[in-house]
């Protein structure tokens, strides 16, 4: 370096151009290494991103839901049943009986078809519903709630092929007003009627004019026939039209079947019939089913059905009722004053159509529109009792009495056991964003299918226990299990680990006895080796020691605290102790590093002041080592949280719905739950596994962040 | 404080604070210092000088049993303090260190407040008096009070190197030792801070016995009353005492040729 060394021996070091290339080469070599390191970092980042991407797209996305039982029909069944079995209720298929009961009785109320009310308008009075009286206008416009449009359906092709069908529909529409009035329905809204006529004209290739052509009965052959099937509500109307149609000159046979609206559409789409009587509009699924058979259904709104809620003319207080009031009057209330304090304190007498009547169904459908979720707990319990076997109900009762369960809890049971709402198919976030069309077609193809954008990760996911169906399953039990196990791991592992580190670092070195020194050296080496032992070995160790050998202790039998459902050593405490063993070497090594990093001068300063060794360690060494110890501990605990293999060996349960309540409970933990879900065949379990992974990651990140915060706080205090 | 004041006149050692009889220091089987016999004068500054590796620091640590902290360290011979051998089995090193304080080569205040730096030593030794008074008194004795009186709650590490060293001296004084050992206390300091420490030593020696290890010949000549010259024996590589006497005599008229070589700079 000095002048006398480099000058006389120039050849020893490169100079001039040689020096330049030499430096360039060295720089280039450094650059290559830098590129390698950057690439490694990029690869790591890409791998992490891919991992997170996979988890996230699995946790959110569309799902096709299907209910085995329609929840609305459950509500209806329960409410109808309550209505029919109520006190002071007369139910009859014969409307005359109802009228007889109501007339002259001021406390009576009842309902039936509007037509029949009109016949008895002298003895009865219709009640306005939501301040709307039934009339042609309110029924047609839909403001009167107890009104529904009635339809017939056919196709342009059928009308072209079978002139009789075209003629029949023409006749139907031409004479609608008289027929409808005669049957007792309201005519459809004038706009709807005009539209109906237009669509007939368009379907028959007559685009000009607004008038239906006169029917030329001569041109219709006797061979022609009409096959009609569908709703019994539309039946009287269609029958009346058919009779008049034949009187007017049609000679062929007309067959009308009462198979219900749904049945009518099925026959029609299969090509069995020409016309459908429908008391509701056609659904998309039905349109598609028809299109598969090359049938494009054409809708004709022919009339509006309405029913009247009636009281006696003697009744002077009930002029109007809301739907809610009506529901109470017909179900839960005993006296009129129960519903509205302004009404008399007399008992309600109810007169309603019988259970087989479509009128009752229609009334119930309109009135009992509450959703399953809004029903009170006792109603939900009633649904359970009505739909499940007594044995199953008793089992739930013994697991936890219904009286103690929450409404939400019972609702979940109903959803799981009665509605059997399940996910038919789920899509990832990416598919949900880019394949929307395909997804929608799929959902419409399944009966009672519903499309739902679902975040598999939601608050309920954290608070509901494990379940057999993925959409109802949550991680509450697993999360609590993890917290319990980690608590035990920390309580046992941290003090022992830090204590061991203090001994090995501060005391073991100053041991005078050479044998003891050797033992300490062996311990130190073994701890380093133990940190590298595969975790499953710890599982075997835990199984042999904690689960088997210490069973009386770990099962709680010794303390009389056994969990009746396990009564063996496969408990939280066994798991916690095993994980404590597993992380002990990590804690010791990390704590040793931290303690070693405390400058020797601090120890000397303390000792030189006449402090004992322990005072020096406690007041100076430990406080300075704490940030490092904490970091090591948290990393070790993070490792324990993510550990699966040893707990599989210990015997973590895979299906637990009851919260772990003591160290002697059986348990499951998040990684076990995730592992178990990912190995299930149904796709949806992978979605909840992804959501559970997010929870686990958040838990770990929170822990690590708190380690950083704690460390920073301590370090700031030190300097 | 009053305790010590009363003890000193009735000390059985009379004018000597410490008396070393045939002391040998070992690290495991290696003998680092051999056969030292010395009488250290009370309330004087004694300097240990000598080239690197001659065992003067080991010697110093032997005097308050700080060598116990080094695994394998062992002492033979007697170190008499108040008529008691410090290496008797019944003697507790903790008490020894409280009576014989120490200041290290590198300033090593605790990473705590200035106040706490001094209070801690007093507290662990069971001090019962007024802590604020003790701290002010100690800092005044260490000539640091005026510089830090307004920032006692600040970290000891926020002070300059010289201030830190004086804080360490104040900390040592606070436990009321009789003897203060100083292991090259100025080697990490600039000349001005060094002078301040030397002035401080002259002030402190009125109440305390001070033993200082130094490489700085001028410092030994300037500041000490007595000087002990150590040298490593070429045959068995163990440090040995070559010459001990009044500083003036050692520096002006050394009896041993090796001492003269060293202090005149011809060796080391």
- Residue A40 near chain B (CB below 8 Å): no
- CA B160 to CA B147: how far, in whole Å? 11
Measure the CA angle with vertex A55, ends A49 and A59; round to 5°: 140
Alpha-carbon gap, residue A139 to B85, rounded angstroms: 117
Task: Give yes or no for a contact between A102 and A312, defined as CB atoms under 8 angstroms apart.
Answer: yes
Taking CB atoms and an 8 Å cutoff, what residues of chain B touch A608? 64, 66, 97, 101-102, 104, 172
Q: pLDDT-derived band of residue B15, with 50, 70 and 90 as boundaries?
A: confident
CA distance A620 to chain B (A): 8
**Chain B residue closest in CA terms to A514:** B72
How many angstroms separate the Cα of A239 from the Cα of each of A231, A243, A348? 12, 6, 38
* Per-residue pLDDT at B9 exceeds 50: no
Query: How far is it, in rounded angstroms, from Cα A229 to Cα A259?
Result: 6
Select from B70, B44, B45, B41 the least CA-distant residue to B57: B70
Say if A620 is an interface residue toward chain B (CB within 8 Å): yes
Say if the Cβ atoms of B97 and A603 lie within 8 Å.
no
A16-44 pLDDT per residue, tens: 888 999 999 999 999 999 999 999 999 99
Whether pLDDT at A3 is above 60: no
By Cβ distance, the residue of B64, B108, B157 closest to A605 is B108
Please give the DSSP secondary-structure letter assigned to residue A695: H
Q: What is the per-residue pLDDT for A616?
A: 94
Contact yes or no for B94 and A612 at CB 8 A: yes
Mean pLDDT value of segment B82-103? 90
- What's the complex ipTM? 0.88
Question: Is A609's CB within 8 Å of B175's CB?
Answer: yes
How far is CA A476 from each of CA A58, A420, A461, A575, B120, rounded to the nearest angstrom? Answer: 20, 21, 7, 18, 49
B4 in reach of chain A (CB within 8 A):
no
Q: Smallest Cβ distance to A608: which of B71, B101, B125?
A: B101
Q: Which of A510, A610, A719 sits opposite B121 (nearest CB)?
A: A610
Q: Measured between alpha carbons, how far is residue A549 from residues A544, A565, A583, A650, B136 in Å?
A: 6, 20, 21, 13, 63
Tell me the shortest Cα–Cα distance from A624 to chain B, in angstroms.
8
pLDDT for the residue A357: 65
pLDDT band at residue B8, thresholds of 50, 70 and 90? very low
CB contact burial A238-247 (16+ within 10 A = b; e otherwise): bbbbbebbee
Q: Is the pLDDT of residue A6 over 80?
A: no
Q: What percent of chain A has pLDDT over 70?
A: 96
Q: Which residues pair with A129 in a beta bridge?
A: A132, A321
Provide the 3-class DSSP secondary structure of residue A225: coil
Please state the rounded mean pLDDT for residues B211-221: 90
Lowest mean pLDDT among A472-476, A537-541, A594-598: A472-476
Please judge whether A609 and B98 are an interchain contact, meaning their C-beta atoms are less than 8 angstroms apart.
yes
Residues of A in contact with B99 (CB under 8 A): 610
User: pLDDT tier at B10 (50, 70, 90 boundaries)?
Assistant: very low
C-beta atoms of A612 and B108 within 8 A: no
Judge contact between A226 and A274, C-beta under 8 A. yes
User: Do the chains contact at A605 and B98, CB–CB below 8 Å?
Assistant: no
Cα A153 from Cα A200, distance rounded (Å): 11
pLDDT for A208 equals 67
Which residue from A minimizes the CA distance to B165?
Answer: A605
Strand partners, A64: A425, A451
Q: DSSP class of residue A314?
A: T
Residue A358's pLDDT band, with cuts at 50, 70 and 90, is low
Q: Please report, for residues A301, A579, A693, the alpha-carbon distance to residue A58 in angstroms, rounded to integers and kept in the order given.
A: 46, 30, 10
Indicate which of A605, A622, A718 best probes the interface with B, i.e. most B CBs within 10 Å of its own CB. Answer: A605
Contacting residues of B for A610, CB less than 8 Å apart = 94-95, 97-99, 101, 121, 124-125, 175
Task: Give B97's contacts in chain A (Cβ within 8 Å).
Answer: 607-610
**pTM recorded for the entire structure:** 0.67
DSSP per-residue string spanning A529-584: HHTTS-HHHHHHHHIIIIIIITHHHHTSGGGT---TTT-SS-SHHHHHHHHHHHHH
A394 Cβ contact partners less than 8 Å away, ≥ 6 residues apart? none
Mean per-residue pLDDT for A86-110? 85
Cα–Cα dist B40/B61, whole Å: 15
**Spans of all domains in chain B:** 2-263
Put simply, the answer to whether B110 touches A620 (Cβ < 8 Å) is: yes
Using CB atoms within 10 Å of the CB of residue A498, give its burial: 0 to 12 exposed, 13 to 18 middle, 19+ buried.
buried
The verdict on B101 touching A (C-beta cutoff 8 Å) is yes
Residues B238, B241, B242, B245, Cα dihedral to 10°: 170
Tell me how far apart the alpha carbons of residues A608 and A615 are, in angstroms, rounded to a whole number: 12
pLDDT band of B2, cuts 50, 70, 90: very low
What are residue A29's phi and psi, to 5 degrees? Answer: -60, -40
Considering only alpha carbons, which residue of chain B is nearest residue A605?
B108
Q: Which of A601, A608, A714, A715 is most worth mutating to test chain B (most B CB atoms within 10 A of its CB)?
A: A608
d(CA B124, nearest CA chain A) in Å: 6
- How many C-beta atoms surround the C-beta of residue A357 within 10 A? 17
pLDDT mean over A220-227: 80
Lowest pLDDT segment from A562-571, A639-648, A669-678, A699-708: A562-571
Contact A609 B94 (CB under 8 A): no
Burial level of A30, CB count in 10 A (0-12/13-18/19+)? exposed
Point out the residue among B104, B111, B121 whose CB comes nearest to the CB of A624.
B111
Q: Cα–Cα distance between B148 and B151 in angstroms, integer? A: 5
Give B-chain residues touching A605 at CB under 8 angstroms.
Answer: 104, 108-110, 168, 171
Q: What's the whole-number mean pLDDT along residues A480-501?
A: 94
Q: How far apart are the first and last CA of chain A?
A: 40
From chain B, pick out residues whose CB is under 8 angstroms from the CB of A615.
124
Q: What is the pLDDT of residue A503?
A: 93
Q: Residue B65, by phi and psi: left (phi above 0), alpha (psi -120 to 50) or beta?
A: left
- Cβ <8 Å between B124 and A610: yes
Q: For residue A264, what pLDDT band results from cuts at 50, 70 and 90?
A: confident
Nearest-Cα distance to chain A for B90, in Å, is: 16
What is the least distance, in Å, from the CA of A621 to any CA of chain B? 10
Residue A492 has pLDDT above 90, yes or no: yes
For range A99-120, the mean pLDDT: 85
CA dihedral for A229, A235, A239, A242, sign (positive or negative): negative
Q: Which residue on chain A is closest to B28 by alpha carbon? A: A512
Whether A515 has a pLDDT exceeding 60, the answer reads: yes
Q: Predicted confidence band at A2 (pLDDT cuts at 50, 70, 90)?
A: very low
The residue ranking higher by pLDDT, A6 or A521, is A521
B98 to chain A, minimum CA–CA distance in Å? 4
Condensed to tens digits (0 to 9), the pLDDT of residues B103-156 reads: 999 999 999 999 999 999 999 999 999 999 999 999 998 889 999 999 999 999
Q: For residues A405 and A380, what is the distance between their CA atoms, to the nearest angstrom?
A: 11
**Within an 8 Å CB–CB cutoff, is residue A513 touching chain B?**
no
- pLDDT at residue number A10: 59
Contact assessment for residue B202 and residue B40, using Cβ atoms and an 8 Å cutoff: no
A635-668 confidence digits (pLDDT tens)? 899 999 988 899 999 888 778 878 888 888 888 8
Partner-chain contact B64 A612, CB within 8 Å: no
In B57-96, the residues whose Cβ lies within 8 Å of chain A are 64, 66, 69, 71, 94-95
Strands A298-312 and A186-187: antiparallel
**CA atoms lying within 13 Å on the CB side of residue A67:** 15
pLDDT at B5: 40
- Residues of chain A neighbouring B168 (CB-CB closer than 8 A): 605
**A259: region left, alpha or beta (phi > 0 left; psi from -120 to 50 alpha):** alpha
Distance in angstroms (rounded) separating the CA atoms of residues A591 and A622 = 10
Cβ separation of B124 and A608 shorter than 8 Å?
no
CATH number among 3.40.50.2300, 1.10.3720.10, 3.40.50.300, 3.30.460.80, domain B2-263: 3.40.50.300
Angle at A555 between CA A549 and CA A560, to 5 degrees: 125
Confidence band (pLDDT; 50, 70, 90) for A514? Answer: confident
Q: What is the pLDDT of residue A214?
A: 81
- Model confidence at B63, pLDDT cuts 50, 70, 90, reads very high
Do the Cβ atoms of B175 and A607 come within 8 Å?
Answer: no
Query: Which two three-digit tokens encode residue A354?
Result: 């019988």
A179-205 tens-digit pLDDT: 888 887 888 888 888 888 888 888 888
To the nearest whole angstrom, how far is the Cα of B204 from the nearest Cα of chain A? 18
Nearest chain A CA: its distance from B234 CA (Å):
31
The rounded distance, in Å, linking the Cα atoms of A369 and A318 is 22
Residue with tokens 């019972």: A410
CA A139 centroid distance within chain? 38
Please name the residue ranges forming H helices in chain B.
Answer: 2-7, 56-62, 93-99, 114-124, 131-141, 145-148, 161-174, 191-204, 217-223, 247-252, 257-263
Q: What percent of chain A has pLDDT over 90?
A: 22
Check if the beta carbon of residue A328 is closer than 8 Å to that of residue A338. Answer: yes
Helix (H, G, I), strand (E, B) or coil at B104: coil
CA dist A191 → A280, A502, B200 (Å): 18, 91, 112
**Interface list for B 165-204 with A (CB within 8 A):** 168, 171-172, 175
Nearest-Cα distance to chain A for B148, in Å, is 17
Which residue among B106, B124, B168 places its CB closest to the CB of A615? B124
Using an 8 Å CB-CB cutoff, list chain A residues near B120.
609, 611, 619
Q: Any chain B CB within 8 A of the CB of A142?
A: no
Cβ-Cβ contacts under 8 Å, A603 against chain B: 69
For residue A155, the surrounding DSSP H or E stretch is none
Q: What does the alpha-carbon distance between residue A642 and residue A674 come to, in Å, rounded to a whole number?
A: 11
Size of interface A-B (CB pairs under 8 A): 69
Q: Do B108 and A604 touch (CB under 8 A)?
A: yes
With cut-offs at 50, 70 and 90, classify the pLDDT of residue A301: confident
Give the full edge-to-edge strand order of the sheet including A60-66. Answer: A422-426, A60-66, A449-455
- Subunit contact A610:B97, Cβ cutoff 8 A: yes
């Amino acid at each position: 370096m000095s002048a006398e060394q480099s000058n006389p021996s120039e050849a020893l070091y490169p100079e001039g151009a040689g020096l330049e290339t030499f430096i360039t080469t060295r720089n280039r070599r450094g650059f290559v290494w830098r590129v390698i390191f950057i690439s490694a970092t990029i690869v790591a980042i890409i791998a992490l991103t891919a991992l997170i991407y996979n988890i996230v797209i699995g946790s959110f996305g569309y799902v096709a839901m299907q209910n085995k039982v329609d929840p609305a029909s459950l509500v209806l069944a329960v409410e109808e049943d309550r209505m029919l079995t109520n006190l002071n209720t007369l139910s009859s298929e014969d409307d005359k009986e109802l009228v007889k009961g109501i007339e002259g009785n001021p406390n009576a109320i009842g309902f039936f078809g509007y037509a029949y009310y009109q016949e008895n308008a002298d003895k009865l009075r219709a009640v306005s519903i939501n301040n709307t009286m039934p009339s042609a206008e309110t029924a047609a416009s839909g403001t009167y709630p107890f009104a529904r449009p009635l339809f017939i359906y056919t196709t342009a092709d059928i009308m072209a092929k079978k002139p009789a069908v075209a003629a029949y529909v023409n006749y139907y529409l031409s004479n609608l007003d008289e027929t409808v009035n005669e049957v007792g329905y309201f005519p459809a809204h004038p706009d709807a009627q005009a539209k109906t006529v237009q669509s007939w004209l368009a379907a028959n290739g007559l685009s000009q004019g607004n008038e239906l052509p006169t029917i030329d009965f001569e041109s219709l052959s006797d061979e022609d026939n009409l096959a009609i099937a569908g709703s019994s509500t539309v039946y009287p109307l269609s029958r009346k039209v058919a009779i008049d149609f034949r009187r007017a000159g049609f000679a062929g046979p007309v067959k009308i079947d009462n198979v219900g609206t749904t049945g009518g559409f099925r026959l029609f789409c299969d090509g069995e019939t020409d016309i459908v009587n429908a008391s509701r509009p056609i659904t998309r699924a039905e349109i598609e089913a028809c299109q598969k058979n090359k049938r494009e259904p054409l809708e004709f709104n022919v009339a509006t059905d309405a029913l009247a809620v009636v009281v006696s003319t003697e009744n002077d207080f009930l002029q109007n009722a809301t739907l809610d009031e009506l529901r109470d009057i017909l179900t839960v209330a005993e006296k009129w004053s129960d519903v509205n304090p302004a009404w008399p304190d007399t008992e309600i007498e109810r007169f309603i159509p019988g259970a087989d009547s479509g009128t009752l169904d229609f009334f119930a459908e309109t009135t009992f529109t509450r959703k399953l979720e809004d029903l009170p707990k006792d109603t939900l319990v009633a649904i359970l009792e009505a739909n499940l076997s007594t044995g199953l109900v008793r089992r739930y009762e013994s697991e936890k009495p219904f009286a103690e369960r929450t409404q939400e809890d019972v609702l979940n049971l109903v959803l799981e056991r009665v509605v059997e709402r399940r996910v038919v198919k789920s899509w990832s976030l990416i598919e949900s964003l880019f394949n929307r069309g395909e997804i929608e077609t799929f959902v419409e193809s399944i009966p009672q299918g519903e499309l739902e954008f679902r975040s598999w990760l939601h608050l309920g996911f954290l608070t509901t226990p494990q379940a057999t169906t993925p959409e109802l399953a949550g991680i509450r039990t697993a999360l609590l299990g993890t917290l319990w196990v980690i608590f035990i791991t920390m309580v046992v592992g941290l003090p022992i680990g830090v204590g061991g580190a203090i001994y090995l670092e501060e005391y073991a070195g100053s041991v005078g006895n050479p044998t003891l020194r050797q033992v300490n050296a062996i311990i130190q080496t073994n701890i380093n080796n133990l940190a590298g032992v595969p975790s499953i070995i710890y599982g075997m160790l835990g199984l042999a020691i904690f689960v088997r050998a210490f069973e009386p202790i770990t099962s709680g039998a010794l303390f009389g605290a056994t969990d009746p459902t396990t009564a063996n050593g496969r408990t939280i405490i066994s798991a916690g102790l095993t994980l404590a063993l597993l992380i002990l070497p990590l804690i010791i090594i990390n704590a040793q590093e931290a303690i070693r990093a405390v400058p020797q001068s601090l120890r000397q300063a303390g000792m030189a002041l006449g402090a004992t060794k322990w005072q020096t360690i406690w007041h100076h060494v430990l406080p300075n080592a704490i940030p490092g110890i904490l970091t090591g501990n948290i990393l070790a605990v993070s490792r324990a949280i993510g550990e699966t293999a040893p707990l599989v060996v210990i015997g973590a349960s895979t299906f637990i719905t009851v919260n772990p309540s003591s160290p002697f409970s059986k348990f499951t933990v998040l990684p076990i739950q995730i592992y178990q879900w990912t190995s299930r065949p149904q796709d949806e379990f992978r979605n909840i596994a992804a959501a559970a992974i997010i929870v686990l990651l958040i838990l770990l990140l929170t822990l690590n962040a708190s380690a950083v915060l704690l460390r920073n706080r301590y370090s700031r205090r030190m300097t | 404080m009053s305790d010590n004041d009363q003890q000193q006149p009735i000390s059985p050692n009379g004018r000597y604070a410490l008396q070393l009889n045939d002391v040998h220091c070992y690290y495991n089987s290696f003998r680092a210092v051999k056969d030292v016999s010395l009488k250290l004068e009370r309330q004087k500054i004694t300097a240990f000088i000598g080239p690197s590796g001659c065992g003067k620091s080991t010697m110093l640590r032997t005097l308050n049993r700080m060598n116990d902290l080094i695994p394998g360290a062992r002492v033979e011979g007697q170190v008499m303090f108040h008529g008691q051998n410090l290496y008797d089995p019944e003697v507790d090193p903790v008490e020894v260190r409280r009576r014989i304080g120490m200041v290290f080569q590198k300033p090593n205040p605790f990473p705590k407040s200035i106040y706490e730096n001094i209070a801690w030593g007093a507290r662990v030794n069971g001090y019962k008096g007024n802590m604020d008074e003790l701290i002010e008194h100690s800092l005044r004795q260490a000539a640091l009070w005026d510089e830090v009186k307004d920032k006692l709650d600040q970290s000891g590490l926020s002070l300059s190197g010289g201030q830190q060293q004086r804080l360490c001296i104040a900390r040592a004084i606070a436990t009321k030792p009789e003897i203060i050992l100083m292991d090259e206390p100025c080697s990490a300091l600039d000349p001005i801070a060094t002078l301040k420490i030397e002035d401080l030593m002259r002030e402190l020696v009125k109440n305390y016995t001070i033993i200082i290890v130094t490489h700085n010949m001028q410092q030994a000549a300037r500041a000490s009353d007595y000087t002990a010259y150590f040298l490593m024996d070429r045959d068995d590589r163990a440090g040995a005492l070559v010459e001990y006497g009044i500083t003036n005599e050692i520096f002006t008229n050394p009896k041993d040729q090796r001492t003269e070589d060293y202090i005149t700079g011809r060796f080391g």
